[in-house]
Amino acid sequence: MFYRVLSTIFVFVIYVWVVNLYTETIPKTRKRLSFVRMHPAKIISKATYPPAFNFSACLLIKDDNQILPEWIAYHFTVLPLRHLIVAVDPFSLTSPTPILDKFREIGMDIEVWRDKNYLYQDKIFWKRIKSLSQIIDPNEKKVKVHRIRQSAFYERCLKAFKRQNFTWTVLLDTDEYLTYNHFDPDEGQPQWYDRMSTLSVPERGILTQQFNASIKSGKHPRQRLPQIGQVTIAQYIADQVRKDNPRWTKFSCVLLPRVQFGAVESKLEQVVGRVPNGFDPNSFHTLRYRFHGPKQQANKPGKSLVNLVGFDNRKIFNPHKIMNRKCTSETAFPDFSDSDLRVHHYTGSLDLFLSRPEDSRRNVQEFLSRNGNITGHDDTIRGWLSKFVSLVGKDEARSLTEQLQGWARKEDDLALQRWKIEKENFTYPFFDHLSNDMEAQFASSSLLKEIDPTVASKKKVKLL
């Protein structure tokens, strides 16, 4: 009898494994077959969930001082963000410390990490670096090195926040802003229309009728989302947990779709709306740039919002999909039409876009591609600055945004001039000494020259 029960359990486990393996390779049918994936156990309950909480964030930066003050001020207001770990690229020309110190003064908990804090002790990191030795193109290799660094940082950062019993942690870049995914009548055909080929004609008709009816009646969930500056995203999530929304109770990783905003300018009267007196809207990406590309086209992988209650300290190999089967989306490209949150991704001006030296990902062709398919404009994010002023005061708000941005522009210009003159002997403020063992591995992988060709050898780099 015992062996019969044991064999039954074994057969069931094999069956579940095969079903999920099969559905991994056929995304269109996965919703029907992978019942384990689509109905995970509830990880939090409304009985134990706090009515309000503060967000944490993991941020990897490289010479982003000009846009960093707006990014922190915005998320301080909208999330609210109170705990931040910043990892600085070792080849950054400038240090973000003066900016971070100013935000510490208003109560933020901020740590600054170097590579030695999360990277060099990771054996899997070195194995992945060595696997890149067959890549000939130095630009391709630099991009892959960045992805490895990003994954390693996210893993250590999430573990650090989990040890402090934090909950929701957002993983974004400094040109990305988390906001509500308000419904736009001009956003185009929902992405799930493309998957309806697997359904019968009657099924397609029913889904289409239900969707159209919900839009006309104003009952579609995305038509009832709060406004930025009125309800924080933490309050919104807590409310969804109380309503037992499975998106926020059963998944440890919520994938967020991105909307690309270009550098198309607006008239002055179009950007001054909802901006407090005394502030220049052209100093803020979120206020200056209103025109965006297609919302329903998943042309870039999403970003992750992780609930650390369900984070299992796993290895992270994809920085755009942290927990695979525990995420809300089956792929790294989340469905825009089903998401209640989204990420605004700002290109910025051409001068700023090209300001990073030796960054192969930022070139004129890439800039033009981000501006080549503008389909509409969006002003739903504009209310944040007024709320920030009400939280910290007008003078402090100006000091933390426009004044810090002005300082950063001057520092960036000076650092770039020094770099052009000194190059091989330039002092990188966040470049670390390595132990003898790590230095040997570093040299054997030829990683240093591949990250920055201007550095002839580690010994020529002045270290602080």
Interval 122-168: pLDDT, tens: 777 777 777 777 787 877 777 788 888 898 999 999 999 999 999 99
Q: What is the DSSP string of 59-105?
A: EEESS-TTTHHHHHHHHHHHS-EEEEEEEE-TT-SS--HHHHHHHHT
pLDDT score recorded for residue 354: 85
**Residues above pLDDT 70, as percent of the chain:** 79
Mean pLDDT of 275-286: 96
The predicted structure's pLDDT at residue 403: 95
Decide if pLDDT at 28 tops 60: no
Over the chain, what is the mean pLDDT? 80
Sheet with 341-346: strands ordered across: 176-180, 341-346, 258-261, 291-292, 376-377
> What residues pair up with 366 in beta bridges, in sequence order?
none
Q: Write down the pLDDT at residue 71.
A: 98
Higher pLDDT, 358 or 399: 399
Mean pLDDT, residues 430-434 taken together: 64
Higher pLDDT, 61 or 147: 61
> Among 53-57, 80-84, 130-134, 289-293, whose mean pLDDT is lowest?
130-134
Residue 76, pLDDT above cutoff 90: yes
Whether pTM exceeds 0.85: no
242 falls in which pLDDT band (50, 70, 90)?
A: very high
Question: For the residues 269-297, what does the mean pLDDT come to?
Answer: 92
440 versus 392: the higher-pLDDT residue is 392
Kindly tell me if the per-residue pLDDT of 369 is higher than 80: yes
Cα atoms found within 13 Å of the Cα of residue 211, Cβ hemisphere only: 15
Q: Going along 296-340, which residue ranges are E strands?
A: 303-307
Instruction: Decide: residue 381, CB within 10 A, 0-12 exposed, 13-18 middle, 19+ buried.
Output: buried
| pLDDT at residue 145 in the model | 81
Amino acid 17: pLDDT: 53
Q: Please give the C-alpha separations between residue 18 and each of 5, 23, 104, 327, 410, in angstroms, as whole numbers.
A: 20, 8, 50, 20, 59
Q: What is the mean pLDDT of residues 194-212?
A: 73
- Token digits for 99? 């900016």
As given in the structure block, the two tokens for residue 62 are 């490289």
Residues in the chain: 464
Burial class (CB in 10 A: 0-12, 13-18, 19+), 357: middle
What is the rounded distance in angstroms from the CA atom of residue 408 to the CA atom of residue 104?
17
Residue 75 token pair: 């998320």
**How confident is the model over 83-134, as pLDDT tens digits?**
999 999 988 999 999 999 999 999 999 999 998 888 876 777 777 777 777 7
Quote the CA–CA distance of 103 and 74 in Å, as a whole number: 12
pLDDT at 49 over 80: no
pLDDT at residue 181 above 90?
yes
Burial (CB count within 10 angstroms: exposed 0-12, middle 13-18, buried 19+), residue 417: exposed
